[in-house]
Structure 1
Amino acid sequence: MKTILLVEDNNDIRENTCELLELEGYNVIPALNGKTGLILAIEHLPDLILCDIMMPEANGYEVLKYLQDNAATRAIPFIFLTASAEKRM
């Protein structure tokens, strides 16, 4: 079974996404913020990381940078997952 680390600070989004992924047969490890996500990524070495961008403790860009700088986690596929619909110019 493939394992996905989901790093998301919004409870509703995290719970709903976990449920959808679990229904598809994935083992999902939820993380409440970027700092916790980093700890869990190193501890579990998931097959994929889905990560929000705007979070407390460490934002998504900081999480990605740390994971890329770590030899044990740099090869883990990483996807930003955000609910923000704001368009920046």
Structure 2
Amino acid sequence: MEVLILLIEDNDTIRENIEEILTLENFKVITANNGITGVALAKKYLPDLIICDILMSGLDGYEVLTQLKNDPQIPSIPVIFSTSKFENSDKERALALGVKRYLVKPFDLPTLMECINDCFP
């Protein structure tokens, strides 16, 4: 089964690095450099998983998640937040909104893969 991952990340270097890692791990990856594009791509491609930064201009990760959860045309897609926000209150807010995993940057490949594998029981 080919897994399609939508990566929403506004930092070009981080986005390109994660995309390369995921591609080498045999995932199909589509990317967006902002939340608005990310929501549009999610609606168009209905990915199996979304990895989304929180701190972005325009739509931040919380707003992306809210839009996706409130759209009846989009099935329940697991979301991993990838962020530099490490406060417990940030993590609690994300989990309350339905994020599957909360990944604090910087992270290594085993941690990323553990989070991805958690999304596919």
Q: TM-score, with normalisation over the residues of structure 1?
A: 0.91
Tell me whether 1:5 sits opposite 2:6 in the alignment.
yes
Tell me whether 1:40 sits opposite 2:37 in the alignment.
no
1:74, CA displacement in angstroms?
Answer: 4.4
1:56, CA displacement in angstroms?
Answer: 1.3
Give the alignment's Cα RMSD to 1 decimal: 1.5
Structure 1 residues 75 and 86, CA gap change in structure 2 (3 angstroms):
closer
Query: 5+ unaligned residues in a row in structure 2: which ranges?
Result: 90-121
> Greater helix percent: which structure?
2
Corresponding pairs, count: 88
Q: TM-score, with normalisation over the residues of structure 2?
A: 0.68
| 1:41-78: CA deviation from partner (whole Å, max 9, x where unpaired) | 00000000000000012000000000000122240111
2-side partners of 1:74 and 1:14: how far apart? Answer: 25
Query: 5+ unaligned residues in a row in structure 1: which ranges?
Result: none
> Could you tell me the percent identity over the aligned residues?
50
- RCO higher in 1 or 2 (8 Å CA, sep ≥ 6)? 1
Deviating 4+ runs (over 6 angstroms): none
